[in-house]
Structure 1
Amino acid sequence: MFKYDGLKKILFMFDPETAHTLGEFSLRVLPFLRSINNYMTARNFIRSDDLKQEIFGVTFENPVGLGAGFDKNATMVKAMPALGFGFTEIGTMTPKPQEGNAKPRLFRHPEQKTLQNAMGFNNEGSFVVAKNLKKVFPADIPVGANIGKNKSTPQEHALSDYKILINRFKEISDYLVINISSPNTPNLRDLQNEAFITELFTMAKSLTHKPVLLKIAPDMEAKVAIELCKTAVKSGAAGIIATNTTIDYSLVPHPKSIGGLSGEVLAQKSYELFQAIAKELYGKTVLISVGGISNAEEAYKRLKAGASLVQCYTGLIFEGPGMVREINLGLLKLMHKDGFKNIKDVIGSDLKK
């Protein structure tokens, strides 16, 4: 397997968004290069009965997934097993195509292994994304669809955007995620209130039997976040994803004044909020942890705190295509060392003490 450090040096010579475009092109092409794709899948995709779970009525061969924001237009789904991911989440998609915010809008903080993104839900629109997704669904791994409202849609009509999106993706995804926590669409986080969440998930439940999850921001007080999550679950949410990016710019030196931070600096903040939510909701709904996870130790910590699944994104940029393999192999070592035979025994073990 090639050393990623050399390739990273080349990629980091480019603007971050250009580097992402190059990466996307490579991953779109990869499934057609069968010998390389098969080799990478055989090496990186860890299959073990000890890691396997049935969630939402589908099989997750391992608990490490790709977080939303990387594959915005469902163009890389077939390549994800070659990177080792046990599931993937596409989007965020909006009903109509959206250019996103003005460039530059993606920045690296290499010393902190952190990205700052102000992308603004740039995507080709739900019609095109659905067309792409239909070509590959059902996929070799579970696929989630992360959905958000258009920037131009007034707050009072936000519900109609989510209705369009749920209807468009409910038959071509294994689960859906309501994104009202991105910091890059003006006033979007204002929708993180009990009245809107109640109305939203009541509507979602009437539209589909597919699991619909809520993704929340890390920047609210734990007490408020817990109540919002409880409201969502009571109204029909099948799970909670915690957390999105943070606007706590004190976490990095010389931050930009826009966008959200992801990567290692988010780890502690994300973990603490997830832990608080899990103490209230573990065993009552599916919990997925995301934010600063790039190694087995951090993933293991989230699982013990109550996460059934974890997601990565920024870590992939800094650690490379072997990262997920190392996380899953590390998880097996850690759980066996602690006497756990199966991942189900790990999940929530800190809460059972």
Structure 2
Amino acid sequence: MDYSDIKKIFFKFQPETIHHIAEYGMRFGIKLPFVADYLVDKFCYIDTKLSQNILGINFLNPVGLAGGFDKNATMIKPLTALGFGYLEYGTLTPKPQSGNPKPRLFRLIEEKSIQNAMGFNNDGVTKIKSRVEKLYPFSIPLLANIGKNKVTPNESALSDYETLVRELKDLCDAFVLNLSSPNTPNLRALQETSFINELLGALKPLTSKPIFLKIAPDMPTSKAIEICNAAVAAGVSGIILNNTSIDYSLSPKAKDFGGLSGQIIKEKSREFFKAIADEIYGKTVLISCGGIDDAKEAYERIKMGASLVQIYTSFIFEGPGICKKINKELVELLTNDGFSNICEAIGVDVRK
């Protein structure tokens, strides 16, 4: 039975239900004798052409899992065995919260896309910290994706991010600041240069770990460039482009709430990334996310200036073999273009 057959079964369940089933399956399956070795052998692909050191962090390959899949850091070991080069855990908040009312996760099957309105449901920093303490430092880079609690007003948001950095500064390789989820009321209003300057000014003295800022794709390009330049000037380590989209015109089946991800936002994300990268490539590390589902798309973003890429929705639609497939084909693309390492390809289209 291959993944296409398994997916037919999975998709008979509600999305959030099957996510929990898969989570428990991975958590407990990885504890069985020889399961980890089997998964690594079947799903991991290692080639020195894909390895790079970014900001003092070693990455075996450029394909990471975006925040939101492993919100509570319960699946780090099994996900690593599926071939990811790095993982984000979270988004987590200082206090536990249940998130938005259900149903809040929807499949757009024909478009190979997802719409989610989860709302930072997570166990809170205390429980998640206790889990990560048991395995960190880890075999691949772990990024802590952090956000504010829903009940925290925007004028007090800074304190939530400070709390999370203090608690997790020794339990991650980098931080991802989530100011761009559409599912926490008024969160995207924090995507302003004044708050970003204040936020980075407060957080940088608290940690020596790199800090990435993740932004939304729905703002005008001029504003996105302004925000990115302000973040770079304030000392951000990198920019992740991009979070989910609230452009509901992309699908007639889209609901009028939550964020869209997957193939439906591929073109939008690619164009958004290119516009930003053309302006700020070379000033900071860039990570591309949004609609990446094969090596060709990943390679295109890399040549546009992405040092790393992230997937999420394509992992759900294509299955556990997607990392190996992308990485193996990336090596072929690099070799065909005469590159001995991925570093040589990063930004090659911008540098022309």
TM-score interval (norm. to shorter): over 0.9
3-state DSSP class of the match of 1:189? helix
Q: Tell me how far 1:30 sits from its aligned partner.
A: 3.0
More moved, 48-57 vs 119-128: 48-57
3-state DSSP class of the match of 1:122? coil
Q: Tell me how far 1:267 sits from its aligned partner.
A: 0.9
Structure 1: which 4+ aligned runs deviate by more than 3 Å? Answer: none
**Would you say 1:267 and 2:266 are equivalent positions?**
yes
Q: Tell me how far 1:118 sits from its aligned partner.
A: 0.1
3-state DSSP class of the match of 1:333? helix
Structure 1 CA distance for aligned equivalents of residues 246 and 299 of structure 2 = 26
3-state DSSP class of the match of 1:83? coil
Aligned to 1:123: 122
More moved, 305-314 vs 26-35: 26-35
2:108, 2:253 within 8 Å by CA — same for their partners in 1?
no
Structure 1 CA distance for aligned equivalents of residues 255 and 236 of structure 2 = 34
**Would you say 1:33 and 2:32 are equivalent positions?**
yes
Q: Tell me how far 1:148 sits from its aligned partner.
A: 0.3
Q: Tell me how far 1:33 sits from its aligned partner.
A: 2.2
Aligned to 1:154: 153
Aligned to 2:64: 65
Q: Tell me how far 1:52 sits from its aligned partner.
A: 0.3
**Would you say 1:288 and 2:311 are equivalent positions?**
no
Q: Tell me how far 1:56 sits from its aligned partner.
A: 2.4
Q: Tell me how far 1:125 sits from its aligned partner.
A: 0.4
Corresponding residue pairs, total: 352
Aligned to 1:231: 230
What RMSD in Å do the two structures reach over aligned CA positions? 0.9
What does 1:1-353 correspond to in 2, within 5 Å? 2-353=1-352
Q: Tell me how far 1:34 sits from its aligned partner.
A: 3.6
Q: Tell me how far 1:276 sits from its aligned partner.
A: 1.4
Q: Tell me how far 1:168 sits from its aligned partner.
A: 0.9
3-state DSSP class of the match of 1:116? strand
Structure 1 CA distance for aligned equivalents of residues 18 and 249 of structure 2 = 26
Q: Which runs of 5+ in 2 are unaligned?
A: none
- Overall identity of the aligned pairs, in %: 55
1:46, 1:328 within 8 Å by CA — same for their partners in 2?
yes
Q: Deviations for 1:45-85, whole angstroms, at most 9, x for unmatched residues?
A: 21111000111212100000000000000001111222110
Structure 1 CA distance for aligned equivalents of residues 193 and 114 of structure 2 = 30
Q: Which runs of 5+ in 1 are unaligned?
A: none
Structure 2 CA distance for aligned equivalents of residues 195 and 340 of structure 1 = 41
Q: Tell me how far 1:328 sits from its aligned partner.
A: 0.3
Q: Tell me how far 1:209 sits from its aligned partner.
A: 1.1
Q: Tell me how far 1:136 sits from its aligned partner.
A: 1.4
More moved, 116-125 vs 263-272: 263-272
Q: TM-score, normalised by structure 1?
A: 0.98
Q: Tell me how far 1:23 sits from its aligned partner.
A: 1.1
Structure 1 CA distance for aligned equivalents of residues 169 and 33 of structure 2 = 30
3-state DSSP class of the match of 1:32? coil
Q: Tell me how far 1:31 sits from its aligned partner.
A: 2.2
Partner letter of residue 252 of structure 1?
A: S
Q: Tell me how far 1:43 sits from its aligned partner.
A: 2.5
Partner letter of residue 278 of structure 2?
A: K
3-state DSSP class of the match of 1:273? helix
More moved, 33-42 vs 114-123: 33-42
Q: Deviations for 1:212-269, whole angstroms, at most 9, x for unmatched residues?
A: 1100000001110011011111111100000000000111122112100000011111
1:303, 1:348 within 8 Å by CA — same for their partners in 2?
yes
Q: Tell me how far 1:139 sits from its aligned partner.
A: 1.2
Structure 1 CA distance for aligned equivalents of residues 181 and 219 of structure 2 = 13
Structure 2 CA distance for aligned equivalents of residues 144 and 83 of structure 1 = 17
